[in-house]
Amino acid sequence: MSVAIVISQPGGPDVLKAIEIALSEPGPDDVQIQHEVIGVNFVDIYFRSGLYPLPSSPAVPGFEGGGRVIAVGENVRAFTRGDRVAYTGNPMGAYTERRNIPASRLIKIPEGITIRTAGSTMLRGLTAHMLLHKVRNVKAGDWLLVHSAAGGLGQIVTRWATLKGARVIGTTGSVAKMKIAQAAGAAEVLLHTDAAWAESVREIADGRGVHLAIDGIGGPMLAATLGVVRPFGTVASLGQAAGPVPPVRVEELGFARSIALMRPSSMAYADDAELYRQGASDLMAALQNGLENPIGADYSLMEAAKAHADLEAGRTTGSVILTV
C-alpha cells in the first residue's frame, strides 16, 4: 500500500484527501520509485480547481518528483534498484509515497546534485529551458522582462538567463519580494502594481523595450506586457494566476509593433521525447555549473492542501515541495 493524495471532484484545496492505494508491480517498461520530494506547481492547482479536466476520478495530482528506484519492469535496462532519479511531465500522479512510471520519463540525477534539488527543479527548469532556448534563443546582451520574478519559475528563469549573459528586468507584487528577485540576479526590479512599470521597462531596455517578455500572471497583465517588447521581440504567455487571459487581436501584434505572441506549453515540451531529453540534460549540466533553484516552502505530503492554499494565495516564493 502507498499513501496518496487524490482529487475526487474539482474545488478548493480542501478537496485534496489522503487515501491508501494498492500499488502493483511495475509493468514491463515501467519503474517503481520511492519519492523523497514532489513538486507543487500551478498546473496542479489548475487541475484541482477544474480549469483543466481531471483524467480520472479520483485522480492523483502532480507532474514532478524525485526519489530512488525500488523496482524495474522486465524490459527496463537503463535503471536499477537504488538509482537516484527525477522526472516531470505526463502521466499525472506524483502526490504519492510510491508510484509506477514509464522508464522513458525518468532522468538519472548526476553526482553533485541532490534528489531534493533535482526533484523540485524539473518542471520549472524545463520550462525555463523552453523559454530561453526554444521560445527565444536568448543571447548575451538580450533584455528580458520576467513577471513574478520572485516566484519559483521567475527565479530560475532569471538565474539561468543571467548565466547566459542576458539582462533581466523583474516585476513583483511587493517590496519584500523585490529583494528576492534582486538576489536571483535581476538587473532591475519593479513593482507591477506601479502604474508606470511598463514605461520604466521600455526606458531601462535601451529605450526600445525587451527582446523577450514572460508573463505568468495572466488576466489583464498580458495586454500591458505587449507594449514593452521591441520590434521582432516575443511575448510568452504561460500562466493565468490572476485569471483568464482576454482575447488578443492579431492587429495588436503588428504592423507597428511587429512582435510575436506565444502560448508555450511546459507539458507539451516535456512530452516531446527529444526536447525532454535535451532540456533535462542541459538543465542538469546547468545545475552542476552553478544554476540554483531555491526551495521557498517545504510541506509534508499530508500538508498538500496547505501547500496549494499558500501557493495560490501568493504566500510562497521559490519552489514549493512536498516531502515524503
- Per DSSP, the three-state class of 21 is strand
Contact criterion met (CB below 8 Å) for 55 and 69: no
pLDDT at 244 (0 to 100): 83
Summary mean pLDDT of the chain: 96
Q: Look at residue 227 and tell me whether its pLDDT is greater than 90.
A: yes
Tens of pLDDT, residues 108-119? 999 999 999 999
Q: What is the DSSP letter of 132?
A: I
Q: Looking at domain 136-263, what is its CATH homologous superfamily?
A: NAD(P)-binding Rossmann-like Domain (3.40.50.720)
Tens of pLDDT, residues 121-148? 999 999 999 999 999 999 999 999 999 9
Contact criterion met (CB below 8 Å) for 276 and 89: yes
pLDDT at 180 (0 to 100): 95
Query: What burial letters (b/e) apply to 246-275, b meaning 16+ CB within 10 Å?
Result: eeeeeeebeeebebbbbeeebbebbeeeeb
- Per DSSP, the three-state class of 214 is strand
Which three cell numbers mark 101? Answer: 512510471
Closest CA to 171 of 196, 152, 190: 190
Residue 157, phi then psi, degrees to nearest 5: -65, -45
d(CA 71, CA 267): 26
Tens of pLDDT, residues 262-305? 999 999 999 999 999 999 999 999 999 999 999 999 999 999 99
The mean pLDDT value for 230-238 works out to 96
Q: Look at residue 1 and tell me whether its pLDDT is greater than 90.
A: no
- Domain ranges in the chain are 2-123+273-323, 136-263
Of the pLDDT bands very low, low, confident and very high (cuts 50, 70, 90), residue 251 is confident
**Domain 2-123+273-323: which topology?**
Quinone Oxidoreductase; Chain A, domain 1 (3.90.180)
Of the pLDDT bands very low, low, confident and very high (cuts 50, 70, 90), residue 165 is very high
- Per DSSP, the three-state class of 264 is coil
**Burial of residue 293 (number of CB atoms within 10 Å: 0-12, 13-18, 19+):** buried
pTM of the model: 0.93
The mean pLDDT value for 254-266 works out to 92
Q: Look at residue 242 and tell me whether its pLDDT is greater than 80.
A: no
Tens of pLDDT, residues 29-80? 999 999 999 999 999 999 999 999 999 999 999 999 999 999 999 999 999 9
pLDDT at 9 (0 to 100): 95
Percent of residues, the chain, with pLDDT higher than 90 = 91
Closest CA to 142 of 168, 178, 116, 163: 168
Residue 99, phi then psi, degrees to nearest 5: -155, 155
d(CA 311, CA 307): 6
